[in-house]
Amino acid sequence: MSMRIARLARRSVSPTVLCALAAGAVALAAVAPAQAAGGPEGGGEETTLTNNLSYPVIWSDGAALALPGEFGKPELPAEKAVSYTDPTTEETFDVWKQAEEGVSWQAENEVALAPADVSEVDWGDNLEAKSLTPGKPVRVETTLIKNLESPMIAFDMISLEGEKREEVFATPGTEYESSQATMYSACARLTIQRLQISREDPYLSLLKWDAASGQWTGKDLVSAPVFEGGVWESAAEGSGYTAEVNGSGKVIYGYNWRTSGLAAGDYRITFSLAAECPAAVLNTHITEATKVLFSEEESVAPLVSGAGGSGSAGGSGGAASGGGVPQIDATDNLTYVDVELGNPSYTPYVPPAPEAETKTITTATTTTSATTSSTQSQTREKGQTRTRAHVKVSLHLKKRHRTRAHVGYQLSGTVSPPRNGQKLRIQLRTQYGWRTVAIAKLTRQSATTSRYSITLRKPKAGTYRAMMVSNDKYMTGLSANLRLRLG
């Protein structure tokens, strides 16, 4: 039996301005009941009693879950108490279990009267720890956290026994001031899609988020959703994505992902906030300042940007062990994590060849000779002015010695016309074709050119080139090939 104190951790308060809040707890019509952990979604027997709220929550979009009890009026009858001995101090005192009939308490909870920014996002540790086993259900949990200027009242919690979803919690009835609160938005949505290229492939940066359909798009890059659902959808519609008060008394989002029948591969799990949700007006925002909260056991290290989406950098040691590294995408108001299911095997992605740059011209002709008409048409096509400008790309190589044991190879060059802020691809020729191995960001050099510079720490010997992809204004630009010989 596990006997450990599980006080919900207080974290340092960042200087974040909290939106104006209604005084005291505001009674709202609930959009959904708060589920108790261990109920039908948890895989155990059906539970009719709801867990009590022990950790403060902000109802950020004006809709709330139905909670037992009343803030400031806990009901802790003596006959329902359970004796507990602290293994550290050997002190014995009474505690009251979660989801016990006739027992209730409620932490402070308030309604946001103005847009509220998310300070931290906490994904379930199981998604960050290691690769997932095909066929086994995967618990997907996400928690939104807000740093507070003024503390809110929380209840101390104690873990009596069990682990994970089977863990049994209780409260000694004592309160403390929490510097953080969770956030609940009725506009939360979960999307799961299979990546058709490796999650480590830089070409994932080409994925685009479609807010209307709630999914990532990109031909040959990602599949249609294997799951997509919002918490505002009723149980009758079969979403399965819900918000709940878990055993420790905290409001979280959860979904039981059934992986049986799915192919091995990398999957993107996306938590987004849908502006078009019918349940409430969206006031909840994931911003550039939002951070990912990693497990204390994990060492946090920077992640190279460009692994997909427009998210900010941030990471942990999870990817090395097969686990996912959550990312923040403030532009699209979402967070995502790419996880590994089974043992994926991907061949390097080779983008389709650029489309021909000739412009087809349809003209009417009155000549009787088909050959003459074809020749005239071809002549006009050759003389037609292109609508997209040519792009000149240069590539230079310089060997840099950081130390005798560590050698880096700097690739640099220019692009004209200037394309400041856009991404240039460094590609290596392989047996499968050209593969992108690094992405560099263009910066201003002059009024007519942009520049770039990137250092490869452990490059492979071979032939490299720099590539600018085409868009509506510019053609594809390629540098001359450059041979890299190590040593």
Q: pLDDT above 90 covers what percent of the chain?
A: 39
With 70 as the cut, is the pLDDT of residue 141 above it? yes
Residue written as token pair 């770039």: 452
pLDDT category, 14, cuts 50, 70, 90? very low
CA distance 195 to 109: 39
**Which residue, 263, 251, 14, is CA-closest to 132?**
263
Which domains occur in the chain, in start order? Answer: 1-349 (no CATH), 392-484 (2.60.40.3720)
The pLDDT mean for the chain works out to: 76
Residues 211-227, mean pLDDT to the nearest whole number: 93
Looking at residue 315, its pLDDT comes to: 41
For residue 315, give the amino acid letter: G
If DSSP states are collapsed to H, E and C, what string results for the chain?
CCCEECCCCCCCCCCCCCCCECCCCCCCCEEEECEECCCHHHCCCCCCCCCCECCCEEECCCCEEECCCCCCCCECCHHHCEEEECCCCCCEEEEEECCCCCCECECCEEEECCCEEEEEEEECHHHHHCCECCCCCEEEEEEEEEEEEEEEEEECCEEEECCHHHCEEEECCCEEEEEEEEEECCCEEEEEEEECCCCCCHHHHHCEEECCCCEEECCCCEEEEEEEEECCCCHHHCCCCEEEECCCCCEEEEEEECCCCCCCEEEEEEEEECCCCCCCCCCEEEEEEEEECCCCCCCECCCCCCCCCCCECCCEHHHHHCCCCCEEECCCCEEEEEEEECCCCCCCCCCCCCCCCCCCCCCCCCCCCHHHHHHHHHHHHHHCCCCCECCEECCEEEEEECCCCCEEEEEEEEEECCCCCCEEEEEEEECCEEEEEEEEECEECCCCCEEEEEEECCCCCEEEEEEECCCCCECCEECCCEEECCC
Looking at residue 155, its pLDDT comes to: 96
Residues 308-335, mean pLDDT to the nearest whole number: 66
pLDDT category, 263, cuts 50, 70, 90? very high
CA distance 365 to 370: 9
In this predicted model, which residue has the larger pLDDT, 227 or 29?
Answer: 227
CA distance 34 to 156: 20
Point out the least confidently predicted range of 262-266, 276-280, 399-403, 456-460: 399-403
pLDDT tens column, 361-395? 344 433 333 333 444 444 433 333 333 445 566 66
Looking at residue 405, its pLDDT comes to: 57
Tell how strand 215-217 and strand 208-210 pair up. antiparallel
**Which residue, 27, 40, 8, 69, is CA-closest to 242?**
40
Point out the least confidently predicted range of 95-99, 272-276, 296-300: 296-300
Cα angle 331, 334, 340 (rounded to 5 degrees) comes to: 120
Nearby residues of 144 by Cβ (< 8 Å), 6 or more positions away: 60, 118, 120, 121, 182, 183, 184, 185, 284
